[in-house]
Amino acid sequence: MIQQVTTTESDRAQDAPIAPPDHLVGKSCRRIDGKEKVTGTALYGADLFPNSAELFASVVRAQHAHANITAIDTTKALEVAGVLGVYTHVDVGGTNIHGLIRRDHPALASKRVRYLGDAIAVVVAKTERAAKLGRDRVEVSYEPLPVIATMEQAIADGACKLYPEGNVMGDKRIRKGDVERALANSHVVVTDTFFTQTVDHAFLDIEAGTGHWDGQVLTLYVAGQWVHEERRLIALALGLPVEQIRIIQPVTGGAFGGREDISIQIYLGLAALKHQGKTIALRYTRSESMRARHKRHALKIESTFGAKADGTLTAARIVVHSDEGAYASTGIAVMRKAASHATGPYRVPNVEVDVYGVHTNNNPTGAMRGFGACQMAIAYEGMMDRVARALDMDREAFRRKNLIQSGDTVTTGQHVDPVSIGHCLSKALAKFKEQSYPGNEKLPDYMRRGWGMSAICFGLGYGDGFPDCSRARVELNDDGTATVYTGGVEVGQGLLNTMMQIAGEDLGLPMEHMRIVAADTELTDESGSSSATRQTYFTGNAVRMAASELREQVLDIAGIKLKVHPHEITLQQGWAFETNKPDNRVSIQQICTEGLTRGYSLKASALFKPRTITEVPQTGQSPRAFITYLFGAHVSQVLVNMETGEVKVERHIAAHDVGKAVNPQSVEGQIVGGVAQGLGMALMEEVTYKDGRIMNPGLTDYIIPTIKDLPPVEAIIVEHDDPGGPFGAHGVGEPPLIGAVPAILSAIYDATGKAPCELPMTPERTWRLINDVRENDPLTKVF
């Protein structure tokens, strides 16, 4: 994607005063992609169709959630007028398999299908209508297998195995101290089980794109989250060398982890390879998108926490079962992240965690904002409220007694410094208490008001020794502007502005002199994925390093021109001048000209690759499991209708330590948006399955928050300089969602006196909670 700012600046008159410094880091610069988005000229994947599509593709999906394929007959499909080809596994030139961690997911199934989103064939036709008609005429014969619909079925004795090695995909452990003894010596021991639900990303921009093969290069315009890794996966599956594949990220309408797994890329690539010279288009419908795509893991979390009479936490024993669905996706990493965040920002000396990933015939589960840490926060924060109540302690005082301080260790044994969770919690609570919030009026008997809080931490980046690297290049252009090149993808979060502002700050250039080229495998270098809240920290650092090197190159030439030592030169608003004698100056454009004349390079690239240390498999301990930790605290106030179970969030406050807000407006957008998704997860969103079939594959029945569901959300930006981050920044993407859900549940507990443990808290579930009626209770069968 190429973004450009029109440069209106043309006269750099030598006598005009230099504008005062305009620090781009810390400034809410207008989004560079704002104008094209508000005018409708931004081109998303589906917008490439009308002008360029010559042929259309459609994907044949499994009709059984679990079955052996006995035959695939394409004859009738090929008879449909306009259908030009039907391609199955035999037509795929490579391994025909993908998967981000394990290569286990067939692009086109050959022998067996494991969920209803499994693809079997790709139909290519002259029109989209013909392609879909052809799709419906492909005849696949199956030998059905027992459908493993739940985790209980998957681990039951004699269960049908999805894979020869069984249905347990993997496990992850934490062993720290002596939990048995610590629990035996505790004043209180509290146990509860939490059930989190399957969640869909529901980004609005449905998967769509184009593919073209010219005999040399396969060009794909498809939105992903890590274009360079996607290129590797496509290359393997299709049997092409990576250098013959080019991926260009179109403007992208949200991702939230939902574009991490391969979606339409391989189907489009296969179709393009079979129809050389033609541009192929493919777009999903919402239901196809929801049926095909991976989801957030549903977890069953059995939690036991012990504490002394004075409120000091002694031990935690946590057993997690995770519905991994049909394929591994990023599930193994999600399990690791869940384990390493099992006790959150609390000092727990003795910890045992066992996480088991279990295969079912539901959709594969993988990355979604929060990535395992989100579900665990629901459990540990829920337990903080429960233990405080068991001890008859104030919820805040109990938390404060146990929150880690700078230098303390988290679940993995990693010492964290600085720790700002106490500060975040103080900020959020102070905000909550400083003004009279809505609802001091007398409520009718059936309405109850309550408020709750959460304190969370989040390890940034992939962690656990996994290679995590960003590259960037910054170049000065002949006209005095600078271009940042990064492989990082903009999915709506504001990456483009962040990178331009970081580079511009170092180069002393105003925003309108900054340009960026992002996420094109031909033009940019690999920068890892836009996930794990890592881009500001990782790519931000790479950009900063490249920009700093380029700054040295600029200062070198400026020193020659101004006849002073580079240390005595200031870069500001497109000028280089002698710090103590501003009249002695030269414009950046003149420096470019001088650089050209002298044949000096005016570009720099950098690679940022800090190391984390792999957790010891037996204990899950690591001195540096994550590169840095983020902290956040939320306060939420709810109104509960005790008769109907309806929950209305009236007010929500979220305080997050972002290190340094490079663009405060973007940071606030991430915080408020994260709260909205958290509210959806807490109260309404749930993918429901029946024997592996999604029962609500559309926005009619999969309910996400509207403008009327959101209360005023107050975002508080806390800035504790992160010594490892660019200008002290680290990131913000995932924590706001992680903090929101437990704060809302905590408020429901406060209002109703009953502790919620199942998500989402729909009116029906809240009513059952209030009335102590279980889901399978015969009493409720009348409904």
Under the rule (CB under 8 A), what is the footprint of another protein? 28, 30-31, 33-35, 37-44, 46-47, 49-51, 80-82, 127, 129-130, 133, 202-206, 251-254, 256, 285-286, 491-494, 665-666, 668-669, 672-677, 698-700, 704, 706-708, 710, 712-713
Rounded to whole angstroms, how far apart are CA atoms 412 and 416?
A: 11
Output the smallest distance, CB 137 to another protein, in A: 9
Rounded to whole angstroms, how far apart are CA atoms 147 and 680?
A: 29
Q: E strands within 479-548?
A: 482-486, 514-518
Output the smallest distance, CB 202 to another protein, in A: 6
Q: Which is nearer to another protein, 177 or 254 (CB)?
A: 254
Output the smallest distance, CB 132 to another protein, in A: 9
- As given in the structure block, the two tokens for residue 207 are 């998967």
Q: Which is nearer to another protein, 459 or 680 (CB)?
A: 680
Output the smallest distance, CB 73 to another protein, in A: 18
Rounded to whole angstroms, how far apart are CA atoms 731 and 734?
A: 9
Q: Which is nearer to another protein, 65 or 639 (CB)?
A: 639
Contacts made by residues 764-773, CB under 8 angstroms, sequence distance 24+: 764/645, 765/645, 766/640, 766/645, 766/646, 766/647, 767/644, 767/645, 768/645, 769/645, 770/640, 770/642, 770/645
Rounded to whole angstroms, how far apart are CA atoms 644 and 630?
A: 38
Q: Which is nearer to another protein, 301 or 649 (CB)?
A: 649
- As given in the structure block, the two tokens for residue 399 are 């938390």
Q: Which is nearer to another protein, 294 or 401 (CB)?
A: 294
Output the smallest distance, CB 705 to another protein, in A: 8
Output the smallest distance, CB 159 to another protein, in A: 36
Output the smallest distance, CB 730 to another protein, in A: 20
CA atoms within 13 A on the CB side of 672: 15
Output the smallest distance, CB 769 to another protein, in A: 26
Q: Which is nearer to another protein, 252 or 279 (CB)?
A: 252
Q: Which is nearer to another protein, 523 or 710 (CB)?
A: 710
Scored b (16 or more CB within 10 A) or e, 587-606 reads bbbbbbebbeeeeeebbbbb
Q: Which of 560, 620, 626 is nearest to 590 (CA)?
A: 560
- What are the distances in angstroms from CA 728 to CA 132, 502, 536, 539, 661? 52, 11, 10, 14, 9
Output the smallest distance, CB 215 to another protein, in A: 28
Q: Which is nearer to another protein, 2 or 38 (CB)?
A: 38
Q: Which ranges constitute the DSSP H helices of 355-472?
A: 373-390, 395-402, 421-434
Q: Which is nearer to another protein, 504 or 669 (CB)?
A: 669
- What are the distances in angstroms from CA 590 to CA 7, 73, 229, 555? 16, 68, 40, 12
Output the smallest distance, CB 223 to another protein, in A: 10
Rounded to whole angstroms, how far apart are CA atoms 173 and 319?
A: 9
Rounded to whole angstroms, how far apart are CA atoms 240 and 242?
A: 6
**Pairing verdict, β 629-641 and 447-459:** antiparallel
Q: Which is nearer to another protein, 130 or 149 (CB)?
A: 130
